[in-house]
Amino acid sequence: MDELRLTFHRATAGQPLPLPLSDESVQAGFPSPASDYFAADLDLNDLLIRHKEATFYVRIAGDSMTDAGILDGDLAIVDKAATASDGDFVIACINGEFTIKQFRLAPGGEKGRLVAWNNRYPSIEVCAYDDFRIWGVVTHVIHPLKKRKPHERG
C-alpha cells in the first residue's frame, strides 16, 4: 500500500458560520463587470455537513490521489452516515490500514477495488479474505491555492 497517512478530526458544527455570499457568479472565462452587492449569508456548515454527528475532517498526507485533485495536506470532509456507491471517493480500512481511494464495486456486487488516482500506485483489489470496511464517504475536499509561509499562523 502507498505511504498515505490520514489524521482524523471530529467536525464541530454546533455554531453557525455565516459568511457573506456574493449575489453575482464569478466567470471562469472572460471577466464580468464587478459588483459590490452581497446576498444573504451562507453558512458553510449547512453547505458542507449533512450529518453533523457522523462527519469528520481527515487531513490527507500522500500523493496517491493527485490526479483526482486530492493533494497532500488537503482536508477531506468525510460522512460516516453516507452509504458508499460505485465511483464514490471513500476512506476505507483494509487489513488494519486506512486509505483514501475511489471505490469501484465489483461485478455482482461483491467487494470491489480501491482505485488510486496516480499512475505510480496500483489499485487495491479487495478479496474475500481481506478485512475490509468503508469507514466513510468523502463529500468534499478543501485545499489551499496559496501556501502559507512557515511563520504565518491560522
Options 25, 35, 52, 64, the catalytic residue: 64
Residue 149 appears among annotated catalytic residues: no
Q: How far is Cα of residue 57 from the mean position of the Cα atoms in its chain?
A: 8
Bridge-based pairing of strands 132-142 and 55-61 is unpaired
Q: What is the pLDDT of residue 147?
A: 73
Residue 32 appears among annotated catalytic residues: no
Going along the chain from its start, the domains and CATH numbers come out as: 5-13+52-142 (2.10.109.10)
pLDDT band at residue 99 under the 50/70/90 scheme:
very high
3-state secondary structure of 45: helix
Work out the average pLDDT over 96-101: 92
User: What cell was used for 68?
Assistant: 483526482
| The pLDDT of residue 19 is above 50 | no
Helix (H) or strand (E) holding 58, with range, is strand 55-61
Listed range (81-85, 134-138, 145-149) with the worst mean pLDDT:
145-149
Q: What is the pLDDT of residue 138?
A: 95
Options 101, 111, 123, 149, the catalytic residue: 101
Can you tell me the distance from the alpha carbon of 133 to that of 142, in angstroms, rounded to the nearest whole number? 24
| The pLDDT of residue 24 is above 50 | no
CB burial string 118-142: b at 16+ within 10 A, e below: eeebeebebeeeeebebbbbbbebe
